[in-house]
Structure formats: C-alpha cells, structure tokens
Chains A and B, each alone.
Chain A
Amino acid sequence: MLGERLQILVSTDQRRRLEVEAKRRGTSVGSLVREAIDTRYGAVTEDERTRAVAEIAAMRGTFLDLDALEHLVDEERLAVVPQSRR
C-alpha cells in the first residue's frame, strides 16, 4: 500500500536518467524510485533476518577444512551436479 509521500531533490542528470529508464520500461519514475529503495535497502524485516540466522544455527553440516572447502569451490566449474540435486 502506498500511503507515504516522499519529496526529494535530485540533479537534472538523475531526473533525466530516471525519465529515460521509465520510458524504456513503460513505467513511472515513482515506480523506479520504489524499486531502487527495495533493491538497495531490502524488503526483509529484522525478525525475518534473525529467524534466518537462527535456522542456520540449527543446521548440522559436515566439517570440511578450509583447503577442502576452497577446492570444492574451485572445482565448481568442472563439476557435474548430481541429477538428484538439480
């Protein structure tokens, strides 16, 4: 729901860029600003973030030392993901 009015000053160039992009996408300048706010500052609440970390804390993975972990990441581009995990 859009119930808050925000008045901001931007430069001529910023306004021009917003208008060009809005025209290209067939949307409004306001929509682009709202999208930029969500992209830059996120749309996730603190509760959701802390819950996500609590769920990570409940995980029980298998330890790999740093060399093994780095090797696993490095070989990514060569590895074939097992069918069951696609």
Chain B
Amino acid sequence: MTFLVDANVVIYSAIESPYRAPCLELLSAIARGRAPGRLSTAILEEVWHVERSGRAGDLTGLTSRAYTAFTPLLPVTDTTFSMALSLDAPALGTNDRLHAAVCHEHSIDSIVTADADFDGVSGLRRVDPLDEPALRTLLGVS
C-alpha cells in the first residue's frame, strides 16, 4: 500500500542521528521501486526551506536529490485544500493538515514520520522511523 513520507524523514536521511539508518533504508527501498512511498509538493517545500535556512548544516542539493528520488510528487490541489480545511485534527498545524489531506485524497492510510502529532488523525496510521517492526512491515520485509 502506498504511504506518504514526511519531511523529517528526508532531512534525517542527510543528518547523523539514530533516525538516519532507517530513513535511508526507506529512501533506498523507494528509489529501487521496492516500496511505494510518495512525497508531496508541500512536504518537499519544507525540506527546501530547511536546506536553504542553513540551520541544519550544509544540506546543499538535498531537495533536488529528494525530488529525483521521488518524482512525480503528489500535488496539493484545490481538492486537497478543501479537505484540509474540513479535517478534524486539532493537534495539526496548517502544513501538516495539507499532508494529511493529501493522504485522504489519494487513499493513503500511512505516513512515515517522527512527528507524533499525526497519531491522532482519523484514517491515518503513523509509522515512526525508529519503529523497526512497523517499518519492516511497511517495506514488506520479514
């Protein structure tokens, strides 16, 4: 089943931390066509902002490489925006609402993210990159 990949997964793939190995494993599986992970335009824009801010070190080229790995991106459309406006998810900020709405619009029921704010979103299952069993299930690896 298709799943959405959040910005923190892409960013932590480029930064040394406990998240890095599982995030890179996920990106690698997606790039090889072994896992149906997708990015949206709104998510990649967040990565782009972090890259350009320089506050997470030198991430020059991260956004363009992530684009290459994930294209085509899922769009944020008029329908997405309408769904985001009516989303019942008090814990989510505006951008995260767009991400959740992209999932609903494309019948995606899982999002890989370290952000626990997605835990309470109806119809959406959060998979934490550090949750190895859940990640392996998502990747279809036993």
Contact = CB atoms under 8 A, between A and B. Distances in A.
Contacts of A43: 71
Nearest to A57: B24
A42 interface: yes
A74 B13 CA distance: 20
A61 B68 contact: no
B28 interface: yes
B35 to A, nearest CB: 12
A84 to B, nearest CB: 9
B58 A52 contact: no
A56 B24 contact: yes
Nearest to B17: A63
A76 B49 contact: yes
B137 to A, nearest CB: 21
Interface of B: 7-8, 10-11, 13-17, 24, 27-28, 30-33, 46, 49-50, 52-59, 61-62, 65-66, 68-69, 71-72, 93, 95, 114-115
Interface of A: 39-44, 46, 48-53, 55-57, 59-64, 66, 69-70, 72-74, 76, 79, 81-82, 85
